[in-house]
Amino acid sequence: MIKKILIANRGEIACRVIKTAKKMGISTVAVYSEADANALHVKHADEAVCIGPAPSKDSYLRGDLILQKAKALNVDAIHPGYGFLSENAQFAKACADQGIIFIGPTIEAIEAMGSKSAAKQIMQEAGVPLVPGYHGDDQNPTLIKQSANDMGYPVLLKATAGGGGKGMRQVWSEQEFDDALAAAKREAMSSFSDDKMLVEKYLTEPRHVEIQVFCDNHKNGVYLFERDCSIQRRHQKVIEEAPAPNMSEALRAQMGEAALTAAFAINYSGAGTVEFLLDTDGSFYFMEMNTRLQVEHPVTEMITGEDLVEWQIRVANNELLPKEQSELSIKGHSFEARIYAEDPNNDFLPATGTLHLLKTPETNANVRVDTGVEQGDEVSIYYDPMIAKLVVWDENREKALSRLESCLQHYAIGGVTTNIDYLRRIAGSTPFKQAQLTTDFIERHNESISTQTSVDVDTYLPAIVLGYLLSEHNQLEGEPEDSPWNIHDSYRSNLAHPELIELLVNDKLYSVSATMNIASVESPKQWTLHINQVEMTVSGSITDDTLTCSLNGVKTASPIMFNDATISLFTSQGMLTAQIQGPDLGEVGEDDHANAVVAPMNGTVVALLVKAGDKVTKGQQLIIVEAMKMEHSIKAPYDGTVAECFFNTGDLVSGGVALIDITKSDTE
């Protein structure tokens, strides 16, 4: 009987498992790296133990150390979450050897599905339909390339030990193949310590539809319907939904039965996901089986009313499945949007920093936020940059999508750049509303969904000015009550003194005159503003990082964040940022590396492709930096000659630091 579980993971999935364990009366143990000492999952667990330094290889991937801590704390079972050790057969075996239950499938099932090529062979023998491709052991690059040439382009290269889009490349022509194979192998080796590849035909208009399966140790199995995960970027899922739109009952049953066939072929036990490519003619092809709980499992929970983590624990306890197939049904529709610390306007580079502001939509039976962070936490370079999963439900797709859009409007994060506005543009796009879903949706509609929506400055600038005035006055509130500095009524012997405020918004300078109304010394404070020769009256207050503003009698409430001289207001149209302009004291110096190529984010140099003296052309790859398990190729901005390289392979770099100095060609 499982009475105590150690969660061998971090972040939102660790918090998710802890929540269900507590509901079931099971004690929990969190593990954490030195970087996660104050993390949310550590605070929520009954016990917590440190397992090493920040890098995953020294902490969350140390299965030996995790097992050592588990034995010392008399743990009955280990839940691996997803990622890290969740699909590591050696770790599952080590748990069994120590008499600890691994909450997941059998070692044999993990091994069978751990290699994409081996999995394809098993599925072929079981009669599960496959996409044409090469899945052999011979890894001669010439043979792999010839296989691609024979099946015709485009093709998809995949790391056989991969997942999460790592070690994958689309190749559209023979000329691209060699570079793509080298990059995919390099990324696979970095992510999985295994660069074995497979290649398969790339369907041009497929949907990514996956089936949630569950089996127990008594040869029972069910499928909990499907999820559409077609909205992807770089093979990473962005928005998922359940059930899949435009899915007939016959096709749903056909895919569900095929998924169970795949599970039974490897004597599966526990939660698993069988991923298919669904073509426009209704044909579908096995891609892979994930032998773990999926990131997007909440949408399945929302439409079925089942707790899949509870199912996992019960199966691990050797119980029968909680329900039979006939007892399962679909109710309503659900979406999940993955909120990431990344910059959609800079090639989606991962972002790091402190979450100075974190306001989520109000959660209830229809809205769920799965997260592992809270306001004040840091997003570091060491782990995946996902901040949270926003999950919504309603009685049909149209209503659920409307709810998703509304919730994204009320999600405010300050301190790091996020993809929230980008998610809003996808959710609000006509093709998405019409469920025109394909795995290349983002590429196909990139022009429309990448266009930034602009915030109406005239509408929200008075609120930003009010926020500034309130913050300035609040800074003086600590003065003694009888101090003359504690009187903020702008009193002068003649007239009230107007304050001149200059703000830079979207590279445009605004001058605002603000005069406090004497009658409003008590809260809420009130000012008369003059902006662009227009007079208006504003009043309000700031409570819990929310600015309440009354503008000419019309009230609004918006999250607001102050960071030195920068003010950010989170409006229904997006974030509006203003910089308060101070006097120019002439302190800005010359850039020591005016011609330098700089690091776009914190990371590690994994490849330096040039040296001092090399001539380079515009667009040529110079250096590859890895951050948050993804490679980012940095290219020459113009023709020139490399003057100096400041870092070598393996070096850590900070965002904004000069990497390579290039002397621009005279002809440029």
Of 521, 523, 522, 517, nearest to 536 by C-alpha is: 517
pLDDT at 593: 56
Of 225, 296, 573, 561, nearest to 415 by C-alpha is: 561
pLDDT at 75: 98
pLDDT at 564: 84
With bands split at pLDDT 50, 70 and 90, how would you rate the model's confidence at 73?
very high
**Which pairing describes strands 596-598 and 333-340: parallel, antiparallel, or unpaired?**
unpaired
Average pLDDT, the chain: 91
CA 104 to the chain's CA centroid: 24
Return the exposure string of 185-201: e unless at least 16 CB atoms fall within 10 Å of the residue's CB, then b.
bbbbebbbebbbbbbbb
CB 473 within 8 A of CB 435: no
Weakest-pLDDT range from 95-99, 509-513, 521-525, 574-578: 521-525
CB 104 within 8 A of CB 113: no
Domains of the chain (ranges; CATH) run 4-103 (3.40.50.20), 132-201 (3.30.1490.20), 207-449 (3.30.470.20), 457-580 (3.30.700.40), 596-664 (2.40.50.100)
CA–CA gap between residue 235 and residue 636 (Å, rounded): 26
CA–CA gap between residue 165 and residue 188 (Å, rounded): 10
Q: Which tokens go with 151?
A: 């099946």
CB 52 within 8 A of CB 65: yes
With bands split at pLDDT 50, 70 and 90, how would you rate the model's confidence at 628?
low
pLDDT at 117: 77
E strands, 175-220, are 197-201, 207-215
The mean pLDDT of 89-97, rounded to a whole number, is 97
pLDDT tens for each residue of 501-525: 999 999 899 999 999 987 655 567 8
Instruction: Provide CB contacts within 8 A for 8, sequence distance 6+.
Output: 31, 60, 63, 66, 78, 79, 80, 81, 84, 85
Catalytically annotated residue among 292, 403, 424, 425: 292
Q: Which residues pair with residue 413 across a beta bridge?
A: 358
Side by side, the strands of the sheet bearing 207-215 are 284-290, 270-278, 207-215, 221-233, 236-242, 333-340, 386-394, 367-371
With bands split at pLDDT 50, 70 and 90, how would you rate the model's confidence at 493?
very low
Q: Is the pLDDT of residue 497 over 80?
A: no
Maximum mean pLDDT: which of 180-194, 301-315, 575-589:
301-315
With bands split at pLDDT 50, 70 and 90, how would you rate the model's confidence at 584?
low
DSSP assignment of 496-528 equals PPPEEEEEEETTEEEEEEEEE-GGG-SSSEEEE
pLDDT tens for each residue of 263-298: 999 999 999 999 999 998 899 999 999 999 999 999
- Reply yes or no on whether 292 is catalytic: yes
Q: Residue 619: exposed, middle, or buried by beta-carbon count in 10 A (0-12, 13-18, 19+)?
A: exposed
Instruction: Provide CB contacts within 8 A for 142, sequence distance 6+.
Output: none
CB 403 within 8 A of CB 353: no
pLDDT tens for each residue of 527-551: 999 998 899 999 999 999 999 999 9
CA–CA gap between residue 171 and residue 153 (Å, rounded): 7
pLDDT tens for each residue of 233-244: 988 899 999 999
What pTM value is reported for the model? 0.81
Q: Is the pLDDT of residue 256 over 50?
A: yes
Share of the chain above pLDDT 90, in %: 74
Of 137, 132, 136, nearest to 152 by C-alpha is: 132
Q: Which residues pair with residue 29 across a beta bridge?
A: 6, 47
CA–CA gap between residue 544 and residue 87 (Å, rounded): 42
